[in-house]
Amino acid sequence: MIIICNDEKKEIRPGTTIAAFLKDLGVTPDTVFVECNGVIIRRDAYETHELSEGARLELIRFVGGG
């Protein structure tokens, strides 16, 4: 199954949740916001939100500085 994450094609298994996808990428869920098909997904839904064929994800990190 193919999804688009930050404008890059990624192949995932059917039934993959956002949490599993982030784990496969080596990304800690607490460090990003996930937008799926234009909707920001609440962190408490990462474990249950299954990605579908053609889903478009944006992973957004906030960086502090000064």
> What domains sit in the chain, N to C, each tagged with a CATH number?
2-60 (3.10.20.30)
What would the mean pLDDT of 28-37 be, rounded to a whole number? 95
What number of other Cβ atoms are within 10 A of residue 21's Cβ? Answer: 23
Kindly state the percentage of the chain with pLDDT values over 70. Answer: 97
What would the mean pLDDT of 18-32 be, rounded to a whole number? 96
In this predicted structure, the answer to whether residue 66 has a pLDDT above a threshold of 70 is no
pLDDT category of residue 62 using cuts at 50, 70 and 90: confident
Asked if residue 6 lies in contact with residue 58, where contact means CB atoms within 8 angstroms, the answer is yes
